[in-house]
Amino acid sequence: MGGELSAQCESVAAIILAAGKGTRMKSEQAKVLHCVLGQPLLFRVLRVLEGLESSLNVVVVGHQAEKVEQTCREAQIDKVAFALQSEQKGTGHAVQSAMPTLEGFDGRVLILNGDMPLMTPDILRGLLEQAQKEDAALTLLTAISAQHRDFGRIIRTDDGQVKRIQEAKDCSPEEYAVQEVNVGAYCAKADFLRKFLPKLTSSNAQGELYLTDLVSLGYEAGEKVTAVITQDISCALGVNSRADLARASAILKERKLHELMLSGVSVIDPASTWIEEGVQVGPDSEIWPGTVLQGNTQIGRDCVIGPNTQITDSIIGQNARVVHSVLNEATVGNGVNIGPFAYLRPKANISDNVKIGDFVEIKNSNIGLGTKVPHLTYVGDSDIGSKTNLGCGTITCNYDGQAKHRTVIGDNVFIGSNSSLVAPVKIGDGAKTGAGAVIIRDVAPGTVVVGVPAHDIVAK
Ligand code: UD1
Ligand code: CA
């Protein structure tokens, strides 16, 4: 009771262990930078902490420290500090390296392995609340699992008290058979850590300072060491290999697709659909097989996306269709029809009711209301009005070998097939160009130009 009262005012900090190389990944890249469902492992762990009122999150970095720090900064995650573990001498040593950053802090410290992308805020909150309620010096998260064979085993006394964690590599056959395993999330009082971390030794199979030895040290000194057994075994997945990485992505993806389906989105074939966590899709939209939706993509309601479409960091309105196409940082309005085989690049800004057909590439261009770009066309650095038609094979020649220039096309313009528009150039409202025209000078509104280079003929 008294414990609960003080618990409410107690401050919480977190330490995330992210210094290891991740030898089993067989990679030059630090393990925590490998992505699950499009996000570095470490982001996921930090995002989970966002949901808890932790006053400071100390990330222990070592292998590729600078790159890890830079990636965290890019993610703009709040209240993060970094502690350097220049030599990786084990998880206990990693926490020792973080303690100077928490100097003067005297609440509870959540300690998390940085390779647990399926951890959830609810599970951590449960761990923290239990630690506070019991007023324990150290509380561990455990799971009952016959699968996690390389995890540390929880060794309890006959009356069920946690007395030790035995790492798989140090287990006797009897210990190896134990099914209660250490998930890799802990809650400890800061003063407990200060007192017992210096007592860790490396007399074990791996010659490392094991964080897990705090359990026996605490138990033997009569400190209160407790455990919370989680029912959600999936949260325990620790990524050690690329196979684990794929498994983690698959679970996260399944969660995301499930959430979308519950909210009214049809995912025709979940197995062949990849949708990252930051993606939003409106109700009554259909996602067809082979679709990849990434980053901060937003899709409105009543859309049909796919089959075989990749959309990254793009915004799509309502009632749009995108088939067999690739969109990257594009903005697309309502009622737009895209593909098959269209490529929209950054700053392609497509207004309502536009048609973008097959083999069309658009970048850094505005396409006005109801305009049609039906086939085999390149539009770069252009502003195109409404109800205009670009014939098959239209090319905006935006690059003169030195600099990029803009093409401006008005409303109700008709560009004949196979026209080349040599930028900078302007085509006035209602103008027409003949098939094969090469337009090197501005075209006045309502006029018709033909030929190479294009010249006026009298408008009809
Ligand atoms: C650890 C636990 C094990 C638990 C398992 C759950 C220890 C000794 N063992 O084993 O009981 O069942 O996690 O997944 O803690 N790290 C550092 N510095 C180091 C070493 C590791 O920052 O010197 C970081 C790694 O980057 C990683 C995390 O600590 O994010 C865990 O290290 P890892 O080597 O994967 O531990 P496990 O052998 O999996
Ligand atoms: Ca691990």
Q: Which tens digits make up the pLDDT trace of 56-112?
A: 999 999 999 999 999 888 877 778 999 999 999 999 999 999 999 999 999 999 999
What number is the average pLDDT over the span 382-399? 98
Q: CA 28, CA 22: separation in Å to the nearest integer?
A: 9
Backbone angles phi, psi at 129, to 5 degrees: -65, -40
Catalytic annotation, residues: 375
Residues lining ligand 2 (ion), CB within 5 A? 115, 238, 240
Instruction: Please give the distance, rounded to the nearest whole angstrom, from the Cα atom of residue 129 to the centre of ligand 1.
Output: 24
Residue pointed to by tokens 């006045």: 444
Q: CA 167, CA 91: separation in Å to the nearest integer?
A: 12
Q: Which residues of 342-351 are buried (b: 16+ CB within 10 A; e: fewer)?
A: bbbbeebbbb
Q: Which tens digits make up the pLDDT trace of 26-57?
A: 999 999 999 999 999 999 999 888 878 889 99
Residue 360 · residue 376 · CB < 8 Å = yes
Query: In ligand 1, which atom is closest to the CA atom of 60?
Result: 22
**3-class SS at 104?**
coil
Q: CA 57, CA 259: separation in Å to the nearest integer?
A: 29
| pLDDT averaged over every residue in the chain | 95
pLDDT at 207: 95
**Residue 437: closest CA among 422, 425, 454:** 454
What the block records as the tokens of 104 is 């003067």
Q: CA 144, CA 292: separation in Å to the nearest integer?
A: 35
Q: At what angle do helices 41-50 and 65-74 cross, to 10 degrees?
A: 50
Q: Which tens digits make up the pLDDT trace of 50-67?
A: 878 889 999 999 999 999
pLDDT at 339: 98
Q: Please state whether the peptide bond connecting residue 340 to the residue before it is cis, i.e. omega within 30 degrees of 0.
A: yes
Q: CA 438, CA 334: separation in Å to the nearest integer?
A: 33
Backbone angles phi, psi at 253, to 5 degrees: -65, -40
Q: CA 122, CA 124: separation in Å to the nearest integer?
A: 5
pLDDT at 291: 98
Q: Which tens digits make up the pLDDT trace of 244-266?
A: 999 999 999 999 999 999 999 99
Instruction: Please give the distance, rounded to the nearest whole angstrom, from the Cα atom of residue 239 to the centre of ligand 2.
Output: 6
Ligand 1: list residues with CB < 6 Å: 17-20, 31, 60, 62, 85, 88-91, 93-94, 113-115, 151-152, 165, 167, 181-182, 184, 210-212, 238, 240
Instruction: Please give the distance, rounded to the nearest whole angstrom, from the Cα atom of residue 100 to the centre of ligand 1.
Output: 20
Residue 145 · residue 72 · CB < 8 Å = no
pTM score above 0.85: yes
Give the closest residue (by CA) to ligand 1 atom 36: 91
Residue 87 · residue 56 · CB < 8 Å = no
Q: Is the pLDDT of residue 345 over 70?
A: yes
Task: Dihedral sign for Cα 346, 398, 376, 369, please.
Answer: positive
